[in-house]
Amino acid sequence: MAAWYDVTMFRKPLVALSALIAINIVWSSAYAISKVLMDGPWAHLSPLALSFWRLLAATLVLLPLAWHQRPRRPLTGREWASLSAVGLVGCAAAMFLQFIGTQYSSATNAALIITLETVFNCVLAALFLKERMDWRGVVGLVIAFTGVLILSDLDWRTLDLLSNRYALGNGLLVASMLCYAIYSLAGKWAVDTLHPMVVTAYPFAIATVILGLICGWQDPGGLTGITAWSWQAWGGVGYMGIIVTALTYLIWNAVLVHGEVSTMSLTLYVQPVCGAVIAWAALGETMSTHTVAGACAVLLAVALVTIRPRQVGTVKDVKDGLASLPTGR
């Protein structure tokens, strides 16, 4: 097998950081592709159908490769529990709850709630993985969170988190972000004994089956409509499945072998920054003052957490001036 996904390469902090930033750039590009797949002109898929097809494409690509990386022994109960949690909770439940939640919440509420994923990641990592954030991590998290709020340009007059009107939707979105955080938590446990290829492919297969059943119940047209897809729809779904889902999640799990969930999760805030730049460069959208200010705050936070002074003479050196990404235990 090719060594392009060899997890040992991510022991180097610079390689790990570069990989995390790269996959967040790819994830930020997914918003534009998703829009033309859901709202036209490429296709008119529901979010649920798009989630199913992207996971199916990712599973078809990764599962044969994962077969060669499977352990030559039966999986333990703990391993099956971790993989099931990743697939059922971190993939299927997270996507389904987000799909339903966005229908019963406002855009302003959703934009704010989505920023909680990184917070949940840090809290769960501290509780269950015994990861400890130093002052740089705490300050970086606060700065990044503030930067995303500025970047999002929320209309605080329409923010209504506690209203009965949006209570259901807001609750489902919060639950969705918690499920996404559980993906990294359970994935961290799984990569302790399993290859990242297995940890990525097996849960995708589980989630594909679950979302396929839900889609058949809620949106059967999203499954049967494949016969009328244009070549742009095929290309868009292929990009979403192979690049945005299969490749990026595989790299995330590979970095997770040697990385801390709390440190890695802060790079998620790079997505809105990249999304704003892509919208400015490709769509001609205006780069306002608050956009630039929010982007600078996010980049400052990422730099604060990942770039540290060289520590000479210690057992654990900081190589190349970059913060190491140690194991969580």
| Domain-located, residue 1 | no
What angle is formed at CA 218 by the lines to CA 49 and CA 89, rounded to 5 degrees? 70
For residue 104 the two structure tokens come to: 């019963």
* 2 falls within a domain: no
pTM to 2 decimals? 0.80
Q: Quick check: is 79 in a domain?
A: yes
If one counts the domains in the chain, the total is 1
Number of H helices, E strands in the chain: 15, 0
- The Cα–Cα gap between 281 and 204 comes to 33
Question: How many CB atoms lie under 10 A from the CB of residue 103?
Answer: 11
The domain in which residue 95 lies consists of 8-321
Q: Is residue 327 a part of any domain in this protein?
A: no
Looking at the domain assignment, is residue 232 inside a domain?
A: yes
Classify residue 126: in a domain, yes or no.
Answer: yes
| 3-state DSSP percent of the chain in helix, strand and coil, to 5 | 75, 0, 25
d(CA 195, CA 160) in angstroms, rounded, equals 44
Burial class from Cβ neighbours inside 10 Å (0-12, 13-18, 19+) for residue 101 reads buried
Q: What are the pLDDT tens digits along the chain (329 aa)?
A: 444 556 778 888 888 888 998 998 898 888 778 878 988 889 899 888 999 999 999 999 999 999 888 898 999 999 999 999 999 999 999 888 887 887 777 655 666 677 778 888 888 888 888 887 777 778 877 887 777 667 666 565 665 555 667 778 878 888 988 999 999 999 999 999 999 999 999 999 999 999 999 999 989 999 999 999 999 999 999 999 999 999 999 999 999 998 888 888 888 878 777 777 776 776 666 667 777 787 787 778 777 766 655 544 433 333 333 333 333 33
Distance CA 267, CA 318 (A): 19
- Residue ranges in 261-288 assigned as alpha helix (H): 261-265, 270-282
Question: Does 39 map to a domain?
Answer: yes
Instruction: For residue 322, give the 3-state DSSP assignment.
Output: strand
CA distance 108 to 89: 25
193 in any annotated domain: yes
- Spell out the residues 6+ positions from residue 225 whose beta carbon is closer than 8 angstroms to its own: 45, 49
Residue found by looking up tokens 């244009």 in the block: 230
